[in-house]
Structure formats: structure tokens, C-alpha cells
Amino acid sequence: MDANEILLYEHKIIYSLLNKLKIKIEEIKKTRDVQGNFIDLLTDFFITYIDVYHHGKEENLMFEILKQKHLTVHHKNSMNLLIEQHDLGRKLIEKIIITSANYFKIKDQDQITKLIELLTQFHKTYIEHAQFEDNIFFKEVTNYFTEEEKEQLTQDFFKFNIKMINEKYKTLIDML
Ligand SMILES: [Fe+2]
Ligand SMILES: [Fe+2]
């Protein structure tokens, strides 16, 4: 597996989550209720898998190398847009956590309406984001990397995976 294939594989897992999310949004629309367990799982998936594990590789490893290259204006703009979308995802999850907490506190239906909007926006943003990376961005920017850099990036991704899982559970011990 090379660096690009690792990112595409992670996208497949993210698409599975997004498919489940779509079903959950429809359920929330019908029942006008949401389970705390679902919000907890979505939050953990976003923070741990999407943001730390996946965006970590993109932003801290792949994009850092690209920033040192003479990118075309188009590729530079595309990379900046992807970084902005990562930030938008973080903001949306923050709002989803706050809105659902408000709902659990006062059981206000306006919070459910807001939550449906936020979850729908999150779903749309991430589908479009991952599809753009899969079908266009990663394919095009691979040409900026030498074969040695591609090999190094792949090794760095594997090292990142090992470091990340160890850090996560070391932090968990500190919380006990
Ligand atoms: Fe991304
Ligand atoms: Fe991605």
C-alpha cells in the first residue's frame, strides 16, 4: 500500500460512516428524536479517525511536502480549500455537540431541526471533500513527488499510525 492508497482506503471507511449517517438523518427526521449514544459515536469517529488519524496524515505530512513545492495557483487554491473544509468539519462537529446537548437538556424541537441541518451539512461537506480528493486532487498532486518522496511519505504514514494509536491510549491511561 502506498501513501495515496492508504488515504483512499481511509476514505472508504469514512464513506461507510457517511452512509450510516444518511440513514440516521432520515431516522431523526421521522422520529424527531436523537440518541446520545449516536452523537457520542459520531463525535469519537470524527475526532479520532477523521481529524487526528486521517487529516493528520493529509495536513501534517502530505500537504507539508506540497507547501515546499512550486504548486500551480490552481493546486495551491485547491489545497487551501481542502484545509478550510477540514476546519469547517471541526466547526460543524462542535455545533453538533452543542446542539445535541441543548436538546438533551430541554428537549426542544427547534434543536432537532437545527441538528438535522448540521448533520446534513456535515454529510454533504465530507462526501464532496473526499470525492474531490479521491478523483482529482490526489491524482494530480502525485506528480509533484519524486519516487523517493513517495516512498518516504508511505513510511511516514505507517510511523504516524503507530505513534497515533499509542498516544491515544497513553492519554486514556492519564484520564483513569
Ligand atoms: Fe481532506
Ligand atoms: Fe481525505
Taking the whole predicted model, whether its pTM rises above 0.85 is answered as: yes
Instruction: Please tell me the total number of residues recorded for the chain in this structure.
Output: 176
Tens digit of pLDDT at every position of the chain (176 positions): 899 999 999 999 999 999 999 999 999 999 999 999 999 999 999 999 999 999 999 999 999 999 999 999 999 999 999 999 999 999 999 999 999 999 999 999 999 999 999 999 999 999 999 999 999 999 999 999 999 999 999 999 999 999 999 998 999 899 99
Distance 104 CA to ligand 2 centre (A): 32
If you measure from the C-alpha of residue 47 to the centroid of ligand 2, how many angstroms do you get, rounded to a whole number?
14
**Nearest ligand, CA of residue 9?**
2
| Distance between Cα 130 and ligand 2 center (Å) | 5
Report d(CA 101, CA 120) in Å as an integer: 18
- Amino acid in position 64: E
> Are 122 and 21 contacting, i.e. CB atoms less than 8 angstroms apart?
yes
Measured in angstroms, how far is the CA atom of residue 156 from the centroid of ligand 2?
Answer: 16
| 49 burial level (CB within 10 Å; 0-12, 13-18, 19+) | middle
Which segments of 28-162 are extended strands (E)?
none
Interatomic CA distance for residues 58 and 89, integer angstroms: 14
Structural contact between residues 22 and 123, judged by C-beta atoms closer than 8 angstroms: yes
Residue 147 Cα to ligand 1 middle (Å): 22
